[in-house]
């Protein structure tokens, strides 16, 4: 039998493992280590400062009333201004913005009167007119107060109710007027109990002192069916 002897060269060839077989695990470990190192560097930032992180955006707010969402710090757009002709010189203007307390018409600066009845559909409709009798421009906004009284000053019937409406700021130059509607059902049709007042007490919006107007329009409902009296918001114009 022939005997083969392994030489040094053969031993080197058998002991040598192909590089491709031994380097795969090594490369995989190196790759994983590199990924971990990259993540660590990203989290810690660079020499230029910390890495950016998600931030809450500013300029947003919860929905405001009216189901409208507004930006924080923004101001609502002013509503358009509407005008109407009033008695006296010039034109009285009305806008939906809130009025300034410094320009409000005070009771001492106003004169009250009741215009002619404008009946319709079983209703009696009277304009309660407020005229600027002062020498300055002032404003009215909202609902006036009103009450019927007898000769002794006793109130007849409950306080008037407020009709639905959107208040506007009415600007009155000296001599100009604004009005609010005073409405009630005709007592002869409604069957309400009646009384005949001698005066109508009118309190301008946001004021405490009233004005007294002689009432010459006859009976008014004071109790029973359909006896409610209604007032509208103040509007620009004379109302007559």
pLDDT score, position 239: 73
pLDDT score, position 114: 97
Q: How confident is the model at residue 97 (pLDDT cuts 50, 70, 90)?
A: low
Spatial distance between the Cα atoms of 186 and 1, rounded to a whole number of angstroms: 143
Q: Is the pLDDT of residue 188 over 80?
A: yes
Domain-embedded: residue 194: yes
Lowest-confidence pick of 80-84, 124-128, 164-168, 203-207:
80-84
Domain-embedded: residue 145: yes
pLDDT score, position 238: 79
CB atoms within 10 A of CB 36: 10
Mean pLDDT of 172-181: 97
Residue 187 — φ and ψ, nearest 5°? -60, -30
Spatial distance between the Cα atoms of 145 and 208, rounded to a whole number of angstroms: 9
Domain-embedded: residue 71: no
Q: Give the chain's mean pLDDT.
A: 72
Domain-embedded: residue 37: no
Specify whether the CB–CB gap between 104 and 138 falls below 8 A.
Answer: yes
Domain-embedded: residue 24: no
Q: Is the pLDDT of residue 115 over 90?
A: yes
71 against 201, higher pLDDT: 201
Domain-embedded: residue 74: no
Domain-embedded: residue 122: yes
Task: Give the domain extent around 211.
Answer: 82-236
Spatial distance between the Cα atoms of 208 and 22, rounded to a whole number of angstroms: 100
Tally of structural domains, the chain: 1
Global confidence as pTM: 0.60
Is the Cα torsion angle 85, 91, 95, 98 positive or negative in sign? Answer: negative
Specify whether the CB–CB gap between 163 and 111 falls below 8 A.
Answer: no
Q: How confident is the model at residue 95 (pLDDT cuts 50, 70, 90)?
A: low
Domain-embedded: residue 32: no
Residue 208 — φ and ψ, nearest 5°? -105, -30
């Amino acid at each position: 039998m022939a005997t083969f002897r392994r030489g040094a060269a053969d031993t080197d060839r058998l002991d040598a493992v192909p590089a491709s077989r031994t380097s795969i695990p090594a490369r995989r470990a190196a790759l994983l280590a590199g990924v971990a190192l990259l993540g660590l560097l990203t989290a810690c930032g660079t020499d230029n400062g910390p890495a950016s992180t998600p931030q809450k955006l500013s300029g947003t707010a919860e929905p405001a009333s009216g189901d409208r969402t507004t930006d924080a710090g923004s101001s609502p757009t002013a509503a358009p201004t509407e005008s109407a002709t009033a008695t006296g010189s010039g034109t009285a203007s009305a806008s939906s913005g809130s009025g300034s307390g410094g320009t409000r018409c005070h009771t001492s600066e106003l004169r009250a009167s009741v215009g002619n009845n404008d009946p319709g559909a079983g209703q009696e409709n009277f304009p309660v007119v407020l005229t600027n009798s002062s020498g300055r421009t002032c404003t009215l906004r909202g609902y006036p107060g009103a009450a019927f009284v007898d000769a002794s000053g006793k109130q007849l019937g409950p306080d008037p109710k407020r009709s639905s409406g959107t208040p506007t700021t009415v600007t009155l130059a000296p001599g100009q007027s604004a009005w609010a509607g005073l409405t009630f059902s005709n007592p002869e049709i409604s069957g309400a109990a009646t009384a005949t007042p001698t005066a109508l007490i009118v309190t301008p919006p946001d004021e405490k002192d009233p004005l007294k107007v002689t009432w010459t329009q006859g009976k008014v409902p004071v109790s029973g069916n359909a006896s409610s009296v209604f007032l509208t918001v103040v509007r620009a114009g004379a109302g007559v």
